[in-house]
Chain A
Amino acid sequence: MGPYGRVGQVVDELDDRLGIAKGGRVFLDKIFPDHWSFMLGEIALYSFVVLIATGIFLALYFVPSTNQVIYHGTYKPLRGQVVSEAYESTVNISFAVRGGLLVRQMHHWAADIFVGSIVVHMARVFFTGAFRKPRETNWLIGTTMLILAILEGFIGYSLPDDLISGTGLRIGYSIAESIPFVGSYLTSFLWGGTFPGNVIIERFYLIHVFIIPLAIAGLLAAHLGLLVRQKHTQFKGEGRTETNVVGSPMFPTFMAKTTGFLFMVAGATALLGAFAQINPIWQFGSYDPSKISYAVQPDWYMGWLDGALRIMPSWEFAGWGHTVPLEVFLPAVVFPGLIFTIALLWPALEHRITGDNELHNLLDRPRDRPKRTAAGAALFALLFVLFAASSTDVLANYFHLSLNFVLWAFRVLTFVVPIVVAFVTYGICREMQGVQGIGKRKRAVIVYRSAEGEYSTVTAAPRPDDEHEELDPEPVPVRIDIEPLANGPQAANAESSPTGARRVTR
């Protein structure tokens, strides 16, 4: 047996066949820059893992069928009612399958977290300029995954065939119907006739459990593959250049942290599923096209579209023997199409404006790119106003305002807020650029008065805690010995280390 024991033997055997040693070592040494914002994408990745795991569990018990049956299950208020098999099986998952309610709620929470973390991750990539050359492809892949995730979420919560999701489907049908020339064909082919038909749940089920997850999984693999190939971006800092990566190594540090993070994301989702009720479909009842509920909003990532639909004036075009429902087509088809087109094309747009053809591996501070930051903030402000507009009725009720006032307020805010946010953001960025020592810990300013009565200010010396050791980055050695300098307070007094620690002030 060689010097490395069993592990060495296994490596030898595998290397003989698969040639893993050379690349494997490089992989173990792979450096991941450390910054809290770099874990946002990991949340998305791990909630996708949770979605797959919980989704498999649900698929074991869910029946994708609109066949009408009489409910005889354990939930008494529904007994004797005519419900669809999809609805019946979802209620059964909630009450008759052991752990079923938990897994269902975990799946729904994980979906909300999935889309949310993608959006926040995308915002990080946008505001720090991580999408610039050479990473435009990964921006395109990521944005496509966001679109797919939103679609997947909408289709997913449509499957249980409860009253609220059925109403959502009806609205989705009408939106598709509003598209000029092809709308009625599109809906007739997809729904197998007019609404509601009896095939949409089966078809959406296939799309939900197979087609979109497969597409997301493929794009995810490409996303991560490109990340490994192009290496992660990093913020400017000591020893960090455009041509290196500074951080912690894949094995063991990053692997421990990220595996732990997978468990934490799964654990947090399980806690939400256990203690925070979501989508209690047994309260809504099976879908009945002539019934409707009041004050219901879609899942959060559809809210901006619903808000846009609400505040749009009723501008239907009718003439030449045709009808174009612009009051639906513009806010629900053209507007999201425009938003996602701008998102997809942003790297190209910015390239066209700046003419910048360099490769970028160091990230921007948002304040250093005030125009981009202002544009992004304005877009988020617009989406947030529209999201809030999806509860005009609830807000009017709650604040005892007239619905008309709330509607017009949102029509105005939709245009005013993004403009104000853009200018304020731009101003803050420019302001921050001019501040000395920004990003460093604040120090006291001492005001002295001289004998002549003259005042002068001096910045105080850094507090002892503000000083820390910072090491010059070095390549990952084969063996990393973890030798604490000492236990106790004298550890902080170490003047230097063999790797060249130096005292810096933060």
Chain B
Amino acid sequence: MSDDEQETTRTRVPMPIATLSDPHLGDAAKHPSRVEGIIALIFVLGIVMTAGFGAAYWQNWNPWIIGGTMGAGLFLLGFGLTAWGKYLMPQGPFVEERHVLAGSPEERGAMSAALVERSAVVVKRRKLLGGLFALGAGIFGIVAIFPLLRSLGPVPGTSLDRTDWRKGSLLVDSNGRSVKRGTLVVGGIMTVYPQNFEYSPNGQATDQTVLIRVQDSDLVTAPGRETWAPAGYVAYSKVCTHLGCPVGLYEQQLELLVCPCHQSMFNVRNGAVPQFGPAPRPLPQLPLYFDSDGTLRAQTGFDQAVGPGFFERTTTEKL
């Protein structure tokens, strides 16, 4: 039926109420006046709740009273309106024809013809102009990427390979206190940083190192690391080699450092070799020594990049 025909149709078309055509409805729907009463009651409750929401907000009552009245008010008003639509408005079934979206073959042909023929005449004959414009647009596109690449942040360079640990760096805790021979008992653990780490951007994130006293005497975690853990003090980067979470759990009985994010476990005694979980590499170890005052210092910085892998990472030492 076309629109014109529909507009002239003013005859009353008696329709059974929607509900009768719906197999899922029970007796309630067959009594519209009763349904109307119920919906009216729902609306009144919704209005009461909405007013209560206003009062609760005005008086700054508890958040759950504000939210409870607001939610109940909105829900009841919506429920009533939906019920009104479902039970008391015409459900049909009504039908509408689908318009065919596609045009006729002639229309399609005309479109294609215009595209092909005009470009043949206008564009193809002026290949130079078209080429120049494409070149210009292309150059602009490339140039436009520059600010995105060069102004957002620095080229990474060696920034991921470096920490603030240097030869002779003083180990301090987060409050700047240094570590003496008796600071930790055997089995004790603390997080240390190089002195003045707080003045380094991101120092706390990259420099964080876990210091554990595994035993009373010097500890050798691996060949070539004979002097790295004096008096049983051993230090490993706290940045997990899997995804960079702080390796914050220490299982003292098993002498395992555990990353709570994805459960990588590192054996403290043998150079933090990953014993379980997805971490691919040992935590880098920081070589330590006691200076003449008996204060703990780093012999050198880390011998490799700390934290997760990245493409430019070159140190591939495995234990």
Residues of A that sit less than 8 Å from B by CB: 22, 25-26, 29-31, 34, 98-99, 101-102, 105-106, 134, 167, 170-171, 173-175, 177-185, 187-199, 229-231, 238-239, 242-249, 252-257, 259-275, 288-296, 306, 309-310, 312-316, 318-319, 321-325, 327-328, 361, 392-393, 403-404, 407, 466, 468-485, 487-489, 491-492, 494, 497-499, 501, 506
Contact = CB atoms under 8 A, between A and B. Distances in A.
A174 B244 contact: yes
A471 B92 contact: yes
Interface string B246-283: 10110000000001111100000000001011111100
Size bracket of the B interface: 35 or more
Contacts of A288: 204
Contacts of B16: 469, 471, 483-485, 494, 497, 499, 501
B30 A491 contact: yes
Given A274-B63, A324-B311, A485-B16, A249 B92 contact: yes
B263 A270 contact: no
Given A22-B3, A246-B93, 17 more contacts: A102-B66, A179-B311, A189-B152, A239-B93, A248-B93, A256-B84, A260-B83, A263-B78, A271-B71, A292-B261, A309-B242, A309-B278, A323-B311, A328-B242, A392-B263, A482-B90, A483-B16
A469 B21 contact: yes
Given A25-B3, A29-B96, A252-B85, A480 B90 contact: yes
Contact of B10 (A184, A243, A479): A479
Given A184-B160, A275-B67, A290 B191 contact: yes
A96 to B, nearest CB: 11
B148 A361 contact: no
A170 B243 contact: yes
B103 interface: no
B104 interface: no
B316 to A, nearest CB: 4
Given A267-B71, A292-B260, A325-B310, A260 B80 contact: yes
Chain A interface secondary structure, helix, strand, loop or mixed? mixed
A325 B16 CA distance: 68
A30 B96 contact: yes
A248 B17 CA distance: 13
B137 interface: no
Contacts of A292: 245-246, 248-249, 259-261
B238 A478 contact: no
A370 to B, nearest CB: 28
A261 B75 CA distance: 9
A275 B16 CA distance: 43
B149 interface: yes
Contacts of A271: 67-68, 71-72, 75
B312 A184 contact: yes
B309 A316 contact: yes
Interface string B147-170: 011001111100110000000000
Contact of A470 (B9, B21, B307): B21
A98 B60 contact: yes
A244 B309 contact: no
Given A170-B244, A196-B202, A327 B280 contact: yes
Contacts of B174: 290
B300 interface: no
A470 B307 CA distance: 68
A473 B63 contact: no
Contacts of A316: 280-281, 309
B310 A196 contact: no
Nearest to B1: A475
B94 A274 contact: no
Contacts of A470: 21, 23, 93
Given A31-B94, A230-B101, A196 B278 contact: no
A171 B244 CA distance: 6
Contacts of B15: 480-483, 497, 499
A185 B156 contact: yes
A268 B263 contact: no
B286 to A, nearest CB: 15
Contact of B160 (A182, A194, A403): A194
A177 B242 CA distance: 11
A313 B279 CA distance: 8
13 contacts: A189-B153, A259-B81, A295-B260, A312-B278, A328-B242, A328-B243, A475-B95, A476-B94, A477-B9, A478-B10, A479-B10, A481-B13, A485-B17
B172 to A, nearest CB: 13
A253 B310 contact: no
B84 A260 contact: yes
Contacts of B80: 260
B91 interface: yes
A174 B98 contact: no
